[in-house]
Amino acid sequence: MRCQQITQNHQRCKRSCNHKYCWQHQPQQRGGGRSFINPTIGIWTVYGAPYCGYTQNALKLLKKTKNKHTFIDISSHKTKVYRELKEKYEVDHRSIPIIFDPEGEFIGGYTELSDLLEE
């Protein structure tokens, strides 16, 4: 089965389902449920949707500032991601993008990223 998610290069993924670039290929959490939020340590992690302007602006800003980043498309699973974000990080963030810094800490959305990088 081929993956249908979008990779960090904004291209349709063409790998088989044993890679780690999209939410479908993230490790499963205890109890057998799928873990949607697994930020990659060492690079910025952006969870969002290809159609979202703020997600696209966040990706452009990271590229402009030459920060390594990865994009994970969660467009069809936003409700589950919001729930997991609240359970794991105790944050009631209900919009995309959802951005994590290279240390794996939740920083917020595009506004928070912009404030942080343009200081």
Q: What is the pLDDT of residues 54-65, one digit of tens each?
A: 999 999 999 999
Quote the pTM value: 0.69
Which DSSP string corresponds to 40-76? PTTSEEEEE-TT-HHHHHHHHHHHHTT--EEEEE-TT
| Residue 12 burial (10 A CB sphere; 0-12, 13-18, 19+) | exposed
Averaged pLDDT for residues 95-104: 91
Give yes or no for a contact between 61 and 114, defined as CB atoms under 8 angstroms apart.
yes
Q: Taking 70 as the threshold, does the pLDDT of residue 89 lie above it?
A: yes
Q: Tell which wins on pLDDT, 10 or 33.
A: 33
Q: Taking 60 as the threshold, does the pLDDT of residue 27 lie above it?
A: no
Quote the pLDDT of residue 6: 52
Helix (H, G, I), strand (E, B) or coil at 6: strand
Quote the pLDDT of residue 81: 85
Quote the pLDDT of residue 61: 95
Q: Tell which wins on pLDDT, 50 or 16.
A: 50
Quote the pLDDT of residue 3: 53
Pairing, β 44-48 against β 98-100: antiparallel
Q: Which domains, ranges and CATH numbers included, belong to the chain?
A: 1-16+39-119 (3.40.30.10)
Quote the pLDDT of residue 17: 47
